[in-house]
Amino acid sequence: MARGVKKIIMYQGKYYNKTSTNVTIPPEKPASFKVEEWFSGTTEDDKKNAITWMRQSNNRKTILYQLKSKTGYYFSISKKLCGPYTFYIEASLSGKRDFKNPSGLYINGYTKALIKGSNWRKTPTGNNIKNGSPIKYGELVYIWLDTEGLNGDTVTIEVYNQTIGADNYIDRYTNVKVVNGEVAFKIGNTKKWLNKVGWYTENVEEFYIKVKKGSGNTYIKDHLGADNHAIYLNIKNEVVDKEAEVSENLTPTKVYKAEVNAERHEPCKFDKVTISLPLVKDGKASTKTITIFEDGVTKIKSNTTDEKINRSIHFKFNDYSIAPDAQKKLNNILGFLLGHKGTTIMMTGYACVIGKADYNKNLSQQRSDSVKTFFVNGGLDSSRIISIGRGEYNIQNPDDYKNKNEEVYVDARRVDISFTFHGHTANAAVFETTAPSSKQIVTLDVLGFDTEDCYRNAEKHKEEIIVKSPDAEEFKETNPSLQFPIQSTLSKYNVAPIQYIWPKFNILNWSDSATLYKTHIHSCRYYSNQKAHSILIKAYPDIKWELEFKWNHTESFAYSYGNEMHPYDIEKGQEKVIGSTIDRGLSENFGEMAQSFELSLKAKWDEDSQNLEIGKEWGKKIAKTLKLFNKMKAATDAIAKSPVNGGKLSFEIKAPVIAVSAKWYLETPKNNTKIGTNITIGIESKPLIEAEGKINLWKIFREYGPNAICPGAGTVVNFVLEHIEGNVGISFMVIFTGSINAKGQVQGNTLVPTDTKGEIGIIGKIQVTMEFKAWANGEIGMASFEGYVKADVSTYVSGGIKAEVSKVGLYGYPELNFGGIIAKYVAVGSVKFGIFKRTFEKKGEYVIVEPNKSNFSKKYIIGPYK
Q: Is the pLDDT of residue 96 over 80?
A: yes
Contact between residue 689 and residue 795 where contact means Cβ atoms under 8 Å apart: no
Could you state, in order of their start, the residue ranges of all structural domains in the chain? 5-109, 114-250, 273-301+427-490+514-539, 308-425, 550-862
Whether residue 97 is predicted with pLDDT greater than 50 in this model: the reply is: yes
Answer whether residue 563 shows pLDDT above 90.
Answer: no
- Residue 164: CB atoms within 10 A of its CB come to 6
Query: What pLDDT was estimated at residue 359?
Result: 94
Question: How many CA atoms does the CB half-sphere of 117 hold within 13 Å?
Answer: 9
Least confident of 306-320, 685-699, 775-789: 775-789
Q: Give me the phi and psi of 376, to 5 degrees please.
A: -65, -40
pLDDT of 747: 67
Instruction: Tell me the average pLDDT of the chain.
Output: 73
Q: Highest mean pLDDT range out of 67-71, 228-232, 338-342, 423-427? A: 228-232
Q: Name residues whose C-beta falls within 8 Å of residue 69's C-beta, 6 or more positions apart in sequence.
A: 50, 51, 53, 263, 296
Tell me the angle at which helices 567-590 and 630-640 cross, rounded to the nearest 10 degrees.
150
| Residue from 606, 311, 673, 678 nearest 439 by CA | 606
What's the distance, CA 177 to chain centroid? 43
What pLDDT is stored for residue 375 in this prediction?
92
pLDDT of residue 642: 43
Which range among 182-196, 796-810, 847-861 has the greatest average pLDDT?
182-196
Tell me: the pLDDT tens digits for 235-256? 999 999 888 899 999 877 554 4
387 has pLDDT over 50: yes
pLDDT digits (tens, 9 = 90+) for 533-556: 888 899 988 888 776 656 555 545
Q: Give the pLDDT confidence score for residue 605 in this predicted structure.
A: 76
Q: Which residue would you say has higher pLDDT here, 402 or 310? A: 310
Q: Give the other-Cβ count within 10 Å of 496's Cβ.
A: 10
Average pLDDT over residues 438-446: 91
Establish whether domains 5-109 and 308-425 are of one fold: no
In CATH, what is the architecture of 5-109?
Sandwich (2.60)
Amino acid at 516: L
856, 807 Cβ separation under 8 angstroms:
no
**Sign of dihedral through CA atoms 282, 285, 289, 292?**
positive
At 371 the three-state DSSP class reads: helix
pLDDT at 393 over 50: yes
CA distance 66 to 69: 10
Q: 244 near 430, Cβ under 8 Å?
A: no
What digits encode the pLDDT tens for the residues 104-128? 999 999 999 999 999 999 998 889 9
More confident residue, 258 or 44: 44
pLDDT in tens, 448-464: 898 887 777 678 889 99
Q: Which of 51-60, 159-168, 410-419, 484-493 has the lowest mean pLDDT?
A: 484-493
Please compute the mean of the pLDDT values over residues 676-694 and round it to a whole number. Answer: 58
DSSP 216: -
Tell me the mean pLDDT in the region 671-689. Answer: 65
Closest to 183 measured CA to CA, from 208, 206, 160, 157: 157
Residue scoring higher pLDDT (126 or 343): 126
Per-state percent for the chain, helix, strand, coil, to nearest 5: 15, 45, 35
How confident is the model over 763-801, as pLDDT tens digits? Answer: 555 444 444 444 444 333 333 344 433 444 444 444 444
Going by C-beta distance under 8 Å and a sequence separation of 6 or more, which residues neighbour residue 787? Answer: 772, 774, 827, 828, 829, 830
In contact, 275 and 432? CB cutoff 8 Å: no
- Taking residues 297-306, what's their average pLDDT? 57
* Whether residue 227 has pLDDT greater than 50: yes
- Higher-confidence residue of 768 and 211: namely 211
Beta bridge partners of 854: 816
Query: Looking at per-residue confidence, does 357 or 709 come out higher?
Result: 357
CA-to-CA distance for 60 and 611, rounded, in angstroms?
Answer: 70
Give the pLDDT score at 450. 87
With bands split at pLDDT 50, 70 and 90, how would you rate the model's confidence at 627?
very low
Counting Cβ atoms within 10 Å, is residue 568 exposed (0-12), middle (13-18) or buried (19+)? exposed
Compute the distance between CA of residue 771 and CA of residue 842 in angstroms, rounded to an integer: 17
Identify which of 75, 77, 91, 74 has the alpha carbon closest to the alpha carbon of residue 35: 91
Q: Read off the pLDDT of each residue in 134-146 and give the average, rounded to a whole number.
A: 95
Fold of the 308-425 domain: 60s Ribosomal Protein L30; Chain: A; (3.30.1330)
Instruction: State the pTM of this model.
Output: 0.49
SS3 28: coil
- The matching CATH number, chosen from 2.60.40, 3.30.565, 2.60.120, 3.40.720, for 114-250 is 2.60.40
Of the ranges 230-234, 442-446, 461-465, 836-840, which one carries the lowest mean pLDDT score? 836-840
Which run of H or of E encompasses 471? none
pLDDT band at 206 (very low <50, low <70, confident <90, very high): very high
The residue that leads in pLDDT, 289 or 821, is 289
Q: Any residues with CB less than 8 A from the CB of 133 and at least 6 apart, and which? A: 234
Most confident of 132-146, 435-449, 492-506: 132-146
Q: How far apart are CA 576 and CA 592, in angstroms?
A: 18
Give the containing element (helix H, strand E) for 367: helix 357-377
- 3-state secondary structure string across 501-570: CCCCEECCCCEECCEEEEEECCCCCCCCCCCCCCEEEEEEECCEEEEEEEEEECCCCEEEECCCCCHHHH
